[in-house]
Every structure is written in structure tokens, then in C-alpha cells.
Amino acid sequence: MVPSPCCGGELKVIGSRKRKLTSESGESRVLVVRRLRCTQCRKIHHELPDCIVPYKRYESTCVEQVISKPEEASTVAADDATLRRWKNWFREQSTYLLGSLRSIAFRFHQVPVEKLSVPSQSAHHAIGHYVGDAPGWLARIVRPVVNSNLWLHTRSAFLSG
């Protein structure tokens, strides 16, 4: 069993809930997300598949495509307002996410892949030092940040989804 992100206690499956997820083509599927309770502090957690970004209805790869190249037309079947919301979300959150990745790396005594040489780099570029910029980088940010309980409003995101 994986130790819980809250206090390292053992997690027990207490149920599941359905969550709708939309793909690049606009098709939806239903995922089953397990509800887990920490047997030590009784905090509730939800299993987070790699394809989910908390709060987002679309697959992680869709959001990633749009925020990676905000100036380019995307192939994601979503309306303009949604695409704009993702770009704004990432612009607003990137500094916070970068800070979270830094503190996680510090906590686990990990050093970024290479030292940041140019101070004026974009946050997206700086994040690449922690998770790389190969496809799936957004999922690689989401998991450690959520698991460290640093994702903003993680819990309500799952409960309201």
C-alpha cells in the first residue's frame, strides 16, 4: 500500500466516485476514482490518474497542449472561453506551481536537472528544469504537487467535479 500524502499513514479504500473526462476530440468518458481514507489521521484522499488535472474537465494532455503553445491554434475541441481559461489559469498558477516544485525538490534533497542560468526565463521554461519538457510534463507537475497537499483547493476540486 502506498503511504498517504498527509502523514504517511496507511490508506484504506472506502469507496469510489465517477468523474467525467473529455478528450481532445471532445468525446467524454467516465473514470472511476477511488476514495481513500488515511487510517491514522482520517483525511480523505482521491486517487489521481495521470490524465486528470484537478478542476479541469479535459484530459491533462489537452490542457498541456494549449498552455505549452498559447499563441498557436490548438486541435482541442473546446470553446474559446475554455481555452482562454486554461491559459489564464496557467499564467496565474505557474509561479505558485514552480514554487511548489522547488519546495518539494528541496524537501527530498533533489537538485534541479541543471542550474537556472538566465534569470528572465518564463515560468514554463523554469518548470522544465524540474519535470522536463517532454510530453506529459503537466501530469508530472500535478502528481507531486497534489500528493504533497500543495495543490490549491485539491479537496473541493474532487468533491465538486
Separation of CA 82 from chain center? 17
Looking at beta carbons only, is 4 or 22 nearer to Zn ion?
Answer: 4
Alpha helices in 49-147 (DSSP H): 60-68, 80-107, 123-131, 137-147
Looking at beta carbons only, is 45 or 129 nearer to Zn ion?
Answer: 45
CB of 39 to Zn ion, least distance (A): 8
Find, among 44, 64, 45, 43, the residue nearest to 53 by Cα: 64
CB of 137 to Zn ion, least distance (A): 29
Site for Zn ion in 41-80 (CB under 5 A): 41, 43
Site for Zn ion in 82-141 (CB under 5 A): none
Choice from 1, 2, 7, 14 touching Zn ion (CB under 5 A): 7
C-alpha–C-alpha distance, residues 130 and 140, integer Å: 9
Find, among 28, 14, 25, 16, the residue nearest to 57 by Cα: 28
CB of 150 to Zn ion, least distance (A): 16
C-alpha–C-alpha distance, residues 51 and 6, integer Å: 22
Choice from 40, 68, 74, 93 touching Zn ion (CB under 5 A): 40
- Residue 23 DSSP SS3: coil
Choice from 11, 21, 36, 38 touching Zn ion (CB under 5 A): 38
10-18, 39-47, 60-68, 148-156 -> range binding Zn ion (CB under 5 A):
39-47
